[in-house]
Amino acid sequence: MAVLLLGTFDTKGGEYAYVRDLVAAAGQDVVLVDVGVMGGGTLAADVGPEAVAAAGGADLEQLRRSGDRGAALRAMADGAAAVTRDLHARGQVSGMLALGGSGGSSVAAAAMRVLPVGLPKVLVSTMAAGDVSAYVGQSDVTLMYSVVDIAGLNSISRQILGNAAAAVAAMSAAHEQRRAAGPPSGDRPLVAATMFGVTTPAVDAARARLEELGYEVLVFHATGSGGRAMEALAAAGHFAGVLDLTTTEIADELVGGVLTAGPDRLTAAGAAGVPQVVSLGAVDMVNFGPLDTVPGRFRDRRLLVHNPTVTLMRTTPAECAEIGRTIGTKLAAATGPVALLVPRGGVSAVDVEGGPFHDPDADAACFEAVLSAVAGSDVQVTVYEQDINDPGFAVAAADLLNELIRGAVAPVPTQRGSV
């Protein structure tokens, strides 16, 4: 296995030769992939740009003649991802290091994102000090700010690139050791859980119960990136089950908040047939930043300053109905066992009686819509009179997920009742 060095050797060949030598001196083999379009580099690659372009469904000479840099970057990103995926499938990649500006970083990041979680990925980029979500996505890319432009070797860049080479070499060595040792004995099946500050008591109690039952629980903060990460891992087959108690990201997607996980939230587990227990945690709110960042069209709404950087907005009955329909429709489309738990006592810590977001009409609109959407499907439904953070609700959710995972309870047609 080897550390994959992928980048534009036509413009950064000297820098890549420098880190290649450092990684090799640390005892790691190296495989070089050149994604440079213009050519003329002096660093020989194991996979050249012609092969990368072809893997992306393009012809390198045509990319050069077109003069369309954006199209070239897209083609090389597709090719880089395909080449990286193939090298990993053949067991040749123990880690990956790339260096770049905005364009090179986008190509390298596309390749890094196809590698599995846990495999080391280090990206030294001029863009690492800003919004890096476009590069990281839902992967575990390690970003290092280059400080100076990656345009030749100097007293600063040698230190930065030296640290990056040392990091990826050590990380790759550790990854190879873990791989050789195999999975630890007694590994427990993984369960995903979604949590927000206002549903923490529920998830903490459910997690404790699931751990008693023999599961390892991975908790995802429902802040958009957390939901996307969970969906990606569910699609990749990492989970035995999903305890999706906190579906608030759907409210942000539909109403216009800042913590949306995108339109595909609440779809991966269902498409993969993974057992899931789902509730309506924190759908009473949409999230914004500091109070002065709330869009003007929402300024007359019921707002709650959660902390100096987070402002919550209460969802209306009409919005709650749309949220409920969306959740119910996605659950009804699932291919695996699904249970829906409806907490009539409140969907968050601030939605309970006496709380600042208590709104029985809005909650009722959500409950009616979600129940109507799953009616006639195989979604198992239980309606609780408690609020979502009631310990009994949380433990019941954990026990039900355990039953679905173990096959003790098969999905049954929708039924409405109270517990």
Residue 381, pLDDT > 80, answer yes
- Candidates 250, 241, 197; CA nearest to 397 is 241
Question: Are residues 229 and 345 part of one domain?
Answer: yes
Residue 217 φ/ψ region, left for φ over 0, alpha for ψ in the -120 to 50 degree band, beta for the rest: beta
pLDDT score at 307: 87
Q: Give residue 134's domain range.
A: 2-181
> How far is Cα 24 from Cα 184, in angstroms, rounded to an integer?
29
- Candidates 310, 309, 257; CA nearest to 283 is 257
- Predicted confidence (pLDDT) per residue in 155-181, tens digit: 999 999 999 999 999 999 999 998 888
Its pTM stands at 0.76
Question: Are residues 197 and 173 part of one domain?
Answer: no
Question: Are residues 240 and 131 part of one domain?
Answer: no
Residue 21, pLDDT > 70, answer yes
Mean pLDDT of 354-369: 97
pLDDT score at 393: 96
pLDDT score at 41: 77
Residue 376, pLDDT > 90, answer yes
In a domain, residue 48? The reply is yes
Mean pLDDT of 64-76: 91
Task: Give 131's pLDDT tier (boundaries 50, 70, 90).
Answer: confident
In a domain, residue 418? The reply is no
> How far is Cα 82 from Cα 55, in angstroms, rounded to an integer?
6
For residues 208 and 397, is the Cβ–Cβ distance under 8 A?
no
Question: Are residues 370 and 234 part of one domain?
Answer: yes
Residue 411, pLDDT > 50, answer no
Domain boundary among 138, 156, 181: 181
- Predicted confidence (pLDDT) per residue in 242-294, tens digit: 999 999 999 999 999 999 999 999 999 999 999 999 999 999 999 999 999 99
In a domain, residue 32? The reply is yes
Buried b (16+ CB within 10 A) or exposed e, 171-203: bbbebeeeeeeeeeeeeeeebbbbbbbbbebbb
**What are residue 221's DSSP bridge partners?**
195
Q: How many domains does the chain have?
A: 2
> How far is Cα 135 from Cα 412, in angstroms, rounded to an integer?
42
The CA-to-CA distance between both ends of the chain, in Å, stands at 55
> How far is Cα 192 from Cα 187, in angstroms, rounded to an integer?
15
Residue 327, pLDDT > 70, answer yes
Question: Are residues 363 and 260 part of one domain?
Answer: yes
> How far is Cα 240 from Cα 223, in angstroms, rounded to an integer?
23
pLDDT score at 36: 93
Question: Are residues 245 and 140 part of one domain?
Answer: no
Residue 51, pLDDT > 50, answer yes
Question: Are residues 95 and 22 part of one domain?
Answer: yes
pLDDT score at 186: 62
> How far is Cα 20 from Cα 188, in angstroms, rounded to an integer?
38
Mean pLDDT of 335-362: 97
Question: Are residues 74 and 218 part of one domain?
Answer: no
Question: Are residues 198 and 161 part of one domain?
Answer: no
Domain boundary among 121, 154, 181: 181
CATH number for the domain including 135? 3.40.50.12020
Question: Are residues 292 and 155 part of one domain?
Answer: no
In a domain, residue 419? The reply is no
Mean pLDDT of 388-407: 96
CATH number for the domain including 313? 3.40.50.12030
Q: When comparing pLDDT for 407 and 82, which is higher? A: 82
For residues 258 and 289, is the Cβ–Cβ distance under 8 A?
yes
> How far is Cα 16 from Cα 33, in angstroms, rounded to an integer?
10
pLDDT score at 361: 97
In a domain, residue 53? The reply is yes
pLDDT score at 185: 56
Question: Are residues 309 and 217 part of one domain?
Answer: yes
In a domain, residue 370? The reply is yes
Residue 190, pLDDT > 80, answer yes
- Predicted confidence (pLDDT) per residue in 78-117, tens digit: 999 999 999 999 999 999 999 999 899 999 999 999 999 8
Q: When comparing pLDDT for 136 and 339, which is higher? A: 339
In a domain, residue 416? The reply is no
Task: Give 400's pLDDT tier (boundaries 50, 70, 90).
Answer: very high
Residue 236, pLDDT > 80, answer yes
In a domain, residue 413? The reply is no
Residue 208, pLDDT > 60, answer yes
Buried b (16+ CB within 10 A) or exposed e, 42-66: ebebbbbbebbbbbbebebeebeee
φ and ψ at residue 363, rounded to 5 degrees: -60, -45
Mean pLDDT of the chain: 92
Domain boundary among 119, 146, 181: 181
> How far is Cα 338 from Cα 332, in angstroms, rounded to an integer?
8
Question: Are residues 295 and 226 part of one domain?
Answer: yes
Task: Give 184's pLDDT tier (boundaries 50, 70, 90).
Answer: low
